[in-house]
Amino acid sequence: MTNKKTISIPTKVEDLATIDLYFKDAQKIDGFWVAQNYIATFQDNEQIAFDDFFSVDKSTSLELFEQCCLMGALNKVADHEKHTQLVKISSFTYYFKRYKKKEQKLIKEFAARQSGKWYFQPDQRGEIEQEMLETHWHVYGTPTCRDTVPFMEMAFDEPAINTFSDD
């Protein structure tokens, strides 16, 4: 009789609070679960928050890790009525202290890149954002960010000016 560790497959982010974040699947792939919280910001300053989770191979690169995080977020944002006006997505990784040093290092490096944020205005987005948007459009046919204006064209509310008299 062998003592095989059973793989717990989560169905929601909260499941990751109680299961082992590391697994080896039937194909002998070593991987780990990642739970993220995202905040998406749209041009009118509306924000939505949501959670997502995914698994990655323990040998994943920083670039692939970031692509997984961003693609999951874009998939959720695509369901929102204002997805064509997406400005920014911020991310936060749950359960950081439960990861081994190697994965903690990967997550820290990921978070260090633009503080875990992606910008989608045409004049602000970087290569990873552009690449993921193009992939997302191609696969899902969704024009995410189609109506997002450049940062310099965004209209911001004027701050209230307080005036004081000497009276």
85-131, pLDDT tens digit by residue?
999 999 999 999 999 999 999 999 999 988 899 999 999 999 999 99
Listed in sequence order, the residues at least 6 apart from 40 whose beta carbon sits closer than 8 Å to its beta carbon are 47, 48, 49, 50, 73, 76, 77, 80, 86, 88, 89
Q: What percent of the chain has pLDDT over 70?
A: 86
* pTM (predicted TM-score): 0.83
Tokens of 80: 């929102």
The whole-number pLDDT of residue 114 equals: 82
> Under a CB-based contact definition with an 8 Å cutoff, are residues 16 and 94 in contact?
yes
pLDDT digits (tens, 9 = 90+) for 38-65: 999 999 999 999 999 999 999 999 999 9
The span from the CA of 103 to the CA of 69, in Å, is: 14
